[in-house]
Structure formats: C-alpha cells, structure tokens
C-alpha cells in the first residue's frame, strides 16, 4: 500500500509525526525510504526525458536558422539575376523558417522551466530522503542501545539471584554446623550430673545461637 499519492505528499510530509504515530516505526521508515527512492527514480527519468527533448530542439533550431540563412542568400542571388519572383519565393521560405525557429525557441524556454522545476523537485526530494535516512539511523542506534541495556539488566538480575542463593547456602551451612554440634553433644553426653548440667547449658547456648541464625536466614 502506497504511503504517498503524489510528489507533494512526500516533500510536505512530517516524517517525525508519522513515525511517532506508527506501531512499528522501524518498518514504517523503511517503507517511506523505499517510496522516496522510487519517486526519485521517476523524477530523474522525467528529467532525462526533458533533457533529450531539449537537445533535439536545439538541433532543430540550428537547422532552421541555417535554412533561414540559406533562403536569404538565395533571395540575394535571385535579385542579382533579376529574378524578383524567385527572390520573393526565397524570402517566403525564409520567413517560414524564422517562424519555426521562434516556435522552437519558445518550446526551449518551456523545457528550461520544466527542467528547473524538476531539478528543484529532485533537490527537495533528495533532502527529504536524507532526512528519512538520518531518522532511520537514529532508530537503529536507539534499538541497538535498548538491546544492550536489556542484556546488561538481564545479566545484573542473574548476578543478584546467584548472590542471594550463595548467601542463603552460606547461612544454611552455618545452621547445619550448629545442628551437627548439637547431635555430637547428644551422642557423647555423660550420665554424670555435673556433665549433664554443663551439657544442658551448652545445649541452651547452642539452641539460642541456632534460633538466632534461623531468624537471620528467614529475615535475609
């Protein structure tokens, strides 16, 4: 589907506004550039056509001017030979050639105007195309920057998760060590009353340390 219907649509288009409203600006800018390049080819083709016509007209003008000069010389020759009738006919052909020269020159002036317009259109279109390409480069850079930031954030998130897991494992290891000490006390405790009280006190201290560690892990 064409974005533009004529040349003026392109040169008057607000590219930034179109991209801001586009759901996929990177796709939209590609379409805009493609249509601009196609239109520029058409403008250049039109310019080539006018240039070719101008060259043909220039050649025609030269031939007509040569013909006019030739008929003038023939009229002079006829006068010198006392052939007024031939001189009159030669002058008639000369005037016809002059009229054709005037008409061809008028066409040349018109073609020059067309060419000037095409050149101006081509310049404006080229500037608009350059603007679109600069915007495309900006979109590409912005997209690349966003991808880099996303990768950095994803990497940071993984690092934070790994650090949290590592911290939890360290706390878990401390809890395991304390529990192992309790089990060791239970396995080697003496039936002696004094030893039992010492064990009880030690167990109490260990239990408190264990609870403290558990709270620390839970609240971490």
Residue 190: what pLDDT?
A: 47
Condensed to tens digits (0 to 9), the pLDDT of residues 35-52 reads 888 888 888 888 899 999
Residue 167: what pLDDT?
A: 66
Task: For the chain, give the mean pLDDT.
Answer: 77
> Under the phi-then-psi rule, with left for phi > 0, alpha for psi from -120 to 50, and beta for the rest, what region is 2?
beta
Three-class DSSP labels, the chain: CCCCCCHHHHHCCCHHHHHHHCCCHHHHHHHHHHHHHHHHHHHHHHHHHHHHHHHHHHHHHHHHHHHHHHHHHHHHHHHHCCCHHHHHHHHHHHHHHHHHHHHHHHHHHHHHHHHHHHHHHHHHHHHHHHHHHHHHHHHHHHHHHHHHHHHHHHHHHHHHHHHHHHHHHHHHHHHHHHHHHHHHHHHHCCCCHHHHHHHHHHHHHHHHHHHHHHHHHHHC
Condensed to tens digits (0 to 9), the pLDDT of residues 130-174 reads 888 888 887 777 666 655 566 656 555 555 556 656 665 665 676
For residues 60-80, average pLDDT? 94
**Residue 26 — pLDDT band, cuts 50, 70, 90?**
confident
pTM (2 decimals)? 0.53
């Amino acid at each position: 589907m064409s974005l533009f219907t004529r040349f003026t649509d392109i040169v008057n288009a607000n590219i930034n506004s179109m991209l801001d409203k586009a759901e996929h600006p990177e796709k939209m800018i590609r379409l805009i550039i493609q249509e601009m390049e196609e239109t520029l080819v058409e403008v250049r083709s039109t310019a080539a056509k006018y240039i070719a016509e101008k060259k043909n007209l220039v050649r025609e003008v030269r031939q007509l001017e040569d013909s006019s000069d030739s008929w003038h010389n023939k009229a002079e020759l006829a006068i010198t030979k006392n052939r007024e009738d031939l001189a009159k006919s030669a002058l008639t052909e000369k005037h016809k050639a002059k009229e054709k020269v005037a008409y061809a020159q008028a066409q040349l002036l018109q073609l020059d105007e067309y060419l000037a317009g095409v050149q101006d259109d081509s310049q404006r279109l080229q500037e608009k195309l350059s603007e679109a390409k600069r915007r495309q480069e900006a979109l590409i850079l912005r997209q690349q920057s966003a991808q880099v930031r996303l990768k950095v954030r994803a990497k940071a998130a993984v690092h934070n998760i790994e650090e949290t897991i590592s911290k939890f494992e360290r706390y878990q290891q401390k809890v395991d060590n304390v529990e192992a000490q309790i089990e060791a006390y239970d396995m080697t405790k003496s039936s002696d009353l004094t030893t039992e009280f010492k064990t009880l006190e030690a167990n109490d201290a260990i239990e408190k340390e264990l609870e403290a560690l558990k709270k620390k892990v839970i609240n971490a």
